[in-house]
Structure 1
Amino acid sequence: MNPLKLILTGVFVAALASGCAGTAPVQNINQSIAGNHNEVQVRQAILYAGLNRGWIMNPTSEGMIDGKILLRGHSADIRITYNANNYQIKYIGSSNMDAKEGNIHSNYNRWVANLNKDIQLELARQNIK
Structure 2
Amino acid sequence: MSTILIADDDRDILDLVAFKLSAAGHELITATDGATALTEARRSVPDIVVLDVSMPGMSGLDVCRELRAEPMTSSVPVILLTARGQESDVEAGFDVGADDYILKPFSPRELQNRITAMLGRSMRGAQ
TM range (shorter): under 0.3
Give 1 or 2: higher strand fraction. 1
TM-score relative to the length of structure 2:
0.26
More relative contact order in 1 or in 2 (CA 8 Å, sep 6+)?
Answer: 1
TM-score relative to the length of structure 1:
0.26
